[in-house]
Chains A and B, each alone.
Chain A
Amino acid sequence: MPIKITDLNYVYSAGTPFAKHALKNVDLYIEDGEFWGVIGHTGSGKSTLFSHLNALTRIQSGVIQVDEFTMTGNGGKKLKRKNRPDFKALRARVGMVFQYPEYQLFAESVEEDVAFGAKNIGIKGDELAERVENAIKMVGLDYEEVRSRSPFDLSGGQKRRVALAGVLAMHPKVLVLDEPTAGLDPRGKKEILDLITEIKAALCPTIIMISHNMDEVARYCDKIAVMADGELKLTATPKELFTQTGLLESLHIEMPQVTALACALASRGLDVSGAALTEDELVEEILRAKGVTA
């Protein structure tokens, strides 16, 4: 049950001097079980595009299909009840984790905060308690230790995990994460990315991660979507994308640091491919070029 976006357009502040064509004829197909990275500069339309997936942004024109849910644009007017899918069910299917989600915590205890979303989609009683417990454990927090504590007494990294647990308790099958590692220190970044990999394996098979960090995207994602000026410029695997120097330049995309280093070494005459995406790959290539064997 994949995601299919067809000819999606979106205009902010239509009919005013500030009108901005934020999405232009976007077509995108995401297969179940894929880990997508979405890159593009601030204002390129990334967030607008993916906030359509669970109907947080009302579709203006185009068609979006997520599993059995179909939304068709109606010029931005509210869809008639009989023409629109069950938004609650859709929002349970597609989980959204916004930027700095720790600023959205609000409840008096961690447990209540994590339960909020699931409760709103009609989960209650033992099942609710069980989902909350599992979600808190899944994000790597000690359930007994944190359940009754105020989320505001936790550290920044722990708060972000609580916010993530709240989305996981809804048992989404698609998880959209908007810059999940922003503002974290390097160790925190790695922990969150490893956690996302675990979530993908255990609970939520399709992951869409918006990121400004090319090394992250190169290392973790299967496919990359590149947005610029409201257009979906291309989709490619990390290998396909990051080895096309000219294309990257024309789209003003940085190479992953590792790849940039590999390219520079190759152009200085070292016998490496210039296409390494991870440090270990590059280290092996350098050792081979230098004739060092293990």
Chain B
Amino acid sequence: MIEVRNVKFVYNEGAEDEKEALHNVSFTVNDGEFVALVGHNGSGKSTLARLFNGLLAPSSGIVKVDGMDTSDKKALFDIRKTVGVVFQNPDNQMVASVIEDDVAFGPENLGLASEEISERVEWALKSVGMAEHRKGTPFRLSGGQKQRIAIAGVLAVKPKVMVLDESTAMLDPLGRDEVMNVITRLNREEKMTVIMITHFMEEAALADRIIVMRDGRVAAEGGKEIFRKRELIESAGLELPVAARIAAKLRERGLDIEGDVTLPGELIDALCP
């Protein structure tokens, strides 16, 4: 679905404050997959988010979305229909003062018929559990609710891929759960490809595959077995999920714990057979 091949990205190329944010990055994201992209602040995660839908074009290398090259300006419209991005700050993503108008903004720009638009708006709002708010204003909602409206706005375009760029970072635990529930459901039930950029390793542990970024490079990728590599995760400025941290400390002290422990339930099962 998304192919990143030998991508280099340089901000302010040629200027005095030139900065190479990505050095020769390659990976693919398959159709229907839930991938977590993790890494420290400044590791290049958000640059990748902007490369996925052609907001930025690579300085060298290729980013392909559903077979389309993001450097091809003529393909941008279709690329943005395919890849939707939800950003960090919900307040910066609201465009209208009535929720249903806000969600309709994307499909309106696709030039769809008005019945189709209102069907999509209703479906998108239902998907995020906000249908009863459609006539309300986004400005009086909580952070978690606003972020769900932002997700609905992206959904209404019916993209194949949803990219979340630290979309839960500004939310409280309740809001974070609301958003994560919506995302995992969309991935499982609607088979939507999800790329989630996050610092929260407990969120990353819900993904099928984890890609660890460090200083503009892919430091590691793989399934949950990645959390066995404590040094690698810590060298990327991250920390293991709490259950994995405790399992690692217990192993260091000589207690034998079998299997890959990342979620609390797995540690509990390992300790209380």
For residue B170, which residues in chain A have a CB less than 8 angstroms away from its CB?
182-183
Q: Is A279 an interface residue (CB 8 A)?
A: yes
Instruction: Provide the B161-195 mask, 1 if CB < 8 A to any CB of A, else 0.
Output: 00000100111111100000000000000000000
Find chain B residues with CB under 8 A from A279 CB. Answer: 242, 245-246, 249
Q: B115-155 interface mask toward A, CB cutoff 8 Å, 1 = contact, 0 = none?
A: 00000000000000000000000000011100000000000
When distances are taken between beta carbons in the complex, the residues of chain B under 8 Å from A43 are 142
Q: Does A239 contact B (CB under 8 A)?
A: no
Binary per-residue interface labels of chain A (256-294) against chain B in the complex, 1 for a CB within 8 Å, 0 otherwise? 011011001100111000000001101100110010101
Q: Enumerate chain A residues within 8 angstroms of B246, measured Cβ to Cβ.
A: 258, 261, 279, 282-283, 286
Name the residue of chain A whose CB is nearest to the CB of B268.
A264
Cross-interface CB contact of B41 among A41, A156, A280, cutoff 8 Å? A156
> How distant is the Cα of A42 from the Cα of B245 in the complex, in angstroms?
29
Point out the residues of chain A lying under 8 angstroms from B272, CB to CB: 265, 268-270
B40 contacts partner chain A, Cβ-Cβ < 8 Å: yes
A225-269 to B contact mask, C-beta < 8 Å, 1/0 = 000000000000000000000000000101001101100110011
In whole angstroms, how far apart are the Cα atoms of A292 and B250 in the complex? Answer: 10
Residue A93 at the B interface, CB < 8 A?
A: no
Q: When chains A and B are docked, how far (Å) is the Cα of A43 from the Cα of B143?
A: 10
| Distance (whole angstroms) from the CB of B264 to the closest CB of chain A | 5
Given contacts A265-B271, A282-B246, 14 further A-B contacts (CB under 8 A): A183-B166, A184-B199, A185-B237, A186-B238, A187-B40, A187-B239, A188-B41, A261-B246, A265-B272, A269-B272, A270-B271, A286-B250, A292-B255, A294-B253
| Set A156, A258, A290: member contacting B255, Cβ < 8 A | A290
Determine the chain B residues whose CB is within 8 A of the CB of A283 once the complex forms.
Answer: 246, 249-250, 253
Q: A182-B169, A283-B250 are in contact. Are A261 and B237 (CB under 8 A)?
A: no
Residue of B nearest to A211 (CB): B172
Q: A191 → chain B, closest Cβ, in Å? A: 10
CA distance A279 to B239 in the complex (A): 13
A226, chain B: closest CB distance, angstroms: 14
Instruction: Encode A131-164 as 1/0 by CB contact (under 8 A) with B.
Output: 0000000000000000000000101110000000
Bound form: Cα–Cα A269–B271 in Å: 10
Q: Determine the distance from Cα of A186 to Cα of B267 in the docked complex, in whole angstroms.
A: 22
The residue in chain A whose Cβ has the minimal distance to the Cβ of B45 is A185
B residues within 8 A CB of A292?
A: 253-255
Q: How large is the interface on A (under 10, 10 to 19, 20 to 34, 35 or more residues)?
A: 35 or more
List the A side residues contacting B264 at CB < 8 Å.
257, 260-261, 264
Residues of A within 8 A of B239 (CB): 186-187
B21 at the interface (CB under 8 A from A): no
How far, in Å, is B235 (CB) from chain A's closest CB? Answer: 10
Number of interface residues of B (CB under 8 A): 38
Once A156-B42, A287-B250 are accepted as A-B contacts, the answer to whether A258 and B242 lie under 8 Å apart by CB is yes
* B interface residues, Cβ below 8 angstroms from A: 17, 39-42, 88, 142-144, 166, 169-175, 199, 201-202, 234, 237-239, 242-243, 245-246, 249-250, 253-255, 264, 267-268, 271-272
What are 11 of the A-B contact pairs (CB < 8 Å)? A42-B144, A157-B41, A182-B170, A185-B39, A185-B199, A187-B40, A187-B234, A264-B264, A265-B268, A286-B271, A292-B254
Q: Knowing A283-B249, A292-B255 touch, does A186 contact B237 (C-beta < 8 A)?
A: yes
| Cβ-closest 4 pairs across A and B | A268-B272, A186-B239, A187-B237, A257-B242
Question: Would you give the shortest CB distance from A158 to chain B, in whole angstroms?
Answer: 10
* Contact of B255 with A287 in the complex, beta carbons under 8 Å: yes
- Whether A153 contacts B243 by the Cβ 8 Å rule is no
Q: How far is the CA of A156 from the CA of B268 in the complex (A)?
A: 37
Please, which residues of chain A bring their CB within 8 A of the CB of B253? 283, 287, 292, 294
Cβ–Cβ contact A286 & B238, under 8 A: no
Chain A residues, CB < 8 A from B40:
185, 187-188
Q: Which positions 176-230 of chain A face chain B at CB distance < 8 Å?
A: 182-188, 212, 214-215
Q: Judge whether A185 and B174 touch: CB under 8 Å.
A: no
Cross-interface CB contact of A261 among B142, B243, B249, cutoff 8 Å: B243
B172 partner residues in chain A, CB cutoff 8 A: 41-42, 212
Q: Which residues of chain A are within 8 angstroms of B271 by Cβ–Cβ distance?
A: 265, 268, 270, 286, 290
Q: Is the CB of B41 within 8 A of A184?
A: yes
| A235→B171 CA distance, assembly (Å) | 24
A294: which B residues are within 8 A, CB to CB? 253
- Residues of B near A187 (CB, < 8 A) are 40, 234, 237-239
Contacts of B237 in A (CB 8 A): 185-188
Chain B residue numbers with a CB within 8 Å of A270 are 271-272
A residues less than 8 Å from B234 (CB atoms): 187
Q: Which of A42, A188, A270, A294 has the most chain B CB within a 10 Å cutoff?
A: A42
Within 8 Å CB of A156, what residues of B?
41-42
